[in-house]
Structure formats: structure tokens, C-alpha cells
Amino acid sequence: MFGDAWLSAWWLPVGRVPGTPDGVDTLVVGRRALVFTAWVRYLPPSPLTYHEMLSAVAVHEGNRVAGSITDIWVDNEASRAGGRQLWGIPKEIATLDLGSGRALTASAATGDTWISTAAYRMCGAGLPWAPPSRSRIVQAFGDTLKHSTVRLRSKPRLATASWNINPVGPLGYLAGHSPFLNLYLADVDMRFRSSS
């Protein structure tokens, strides 16, 4: 998959964090849990072109650290079906507006219920090259766990972000908090690979 992404990282009181699949535990540091949110614009030559907004919790299986996606919305039915059937990712359909350009002004809503809005602005220069990174995702998949590896290349750049969260919406656990890190990821090249 190819495109652009806007990422935020949050430290939340562990009691506010959504539940994770059986068999994995929330990664807790000093009574706080690490949550990541992202807005993604998938562009050609991706197999599908669509928008996505997600929230994921850092988890661990023994000494292995991973992420578990707890909330995710897309505006493409094929992406929704594929995410659920192939990866165990609980995608739902929403109206997502990510505008255009690198200075993001985005909104997410389902029907008459708004989920969140966010505005990102770049600050400082980004890397001129795309360093590789690798992460793991673990999801509930029927009666078992689905493990996937994500290989990512992108050109990261620091950003500032202003979020507005519906306190009674599905991301209400983020309301009243602010991310401690915001990034714009340009020229994303992301590859999923199933490991179980």
C-alpha cells in the first residue's frame, strides 16, 4: 500500500484504554498505556485507494511487543471486508474527509455521529530518505490470534496536531488528552505479511 499518513502517539491512564484480545496484555509503563492514532490516505499504485482512520494500543505477548488495532474506519467496502477476513482488523465504514495536501485537516463520522476531527501542520524539515521500519500487529481472529508483520518505509517529519474528540463517541477515551508526538509520514510504502 502506498500513500501518506499522519500519526499521533498518546500516553493514557491504563484504565481508559480499550480492551485487547485474549492472550495479550496492554503494555503499561508507570500506570499509563501507549496508544497510536493515524489518518491514512492510500493512493495509486495501491491495490485499493481509500481513506482510513485508526487507533491502536501497544500490547505484549510475554516479551514480544506489538500493536492491536481497537478502532478503525475506512471509506471503502472492499477494504472493510478484506481487513476483517484476511487480518482480523475490525474495520467499519465511515465518512472520512482528509482534504488534500500535506497540511491535513481531517474529519471522521458515521451517519449523524461525529467521531473526531484533527488538523496537522508541519514543523521543521523532514528526512530526505525513507528509512525502513518493522512492527507487529496482533488481532483477535475467531478463537485464535492473528499475527501480522508490517514493513514500512516513509519520510517522517515532525508535526503539530490539534484534535477534537467526541467524548461520547467511539474514541471518547482520548477526549481530554493530547498526543505527545505527531508525525507526518510522506511517501509511505507499507507491506503486510501474515505470520500466523
Q: Is 87 helix (H, G, I), strand (E, B) or coil?
A: helix
Tell me: the pLDDT tens digits for 162-183? 999 999 999 999 999 999 999 9
**Residue closest to 3 by CA, chosen among 37, 54, 50:** 50
* Displacement of CA 121 from its chain's centroid (Å): 18
Tell me: the pLDDT tens digits for 48-94? 999 999 999 999 998 899 999 999 999 999 999 999 999 999 999 99
Write down the pTM of the prediction.
Answer: 0.94
| Pairing between β-strand 91-93 and β-strand 64-74 as defined by DSSP bridges | parallel
Which residue type sits at 155?
K
pLDDT bin (cut points 50, 70, 90) of residue 42 is: very high
CATH number at residue 111: 2.40.400.10
% of the chain with per-residue pLDDT over 70: 99
pLDDT bin (cut points 50, 70, 90) of residue 196 is: low
pLDDT bin (cut points 50, 70, 90) of residue 117 is: very high
Count the domains in the chain. 1
% of the chain with per-residue pLDDT over 90: 86
Contact (CB, 8 A) for 54 and 31: no
Mean pLDDT of 29-56: 97
Mean pLDDT of 2-15: 96
- Rounded CA-CA distance 35/180 in Å is 11
Phi-psi region of 101 (alpha: psi -120 to 50; beta: other; left: phi over 0): left
Q: Which domain holds residue 176?
A: 2-194
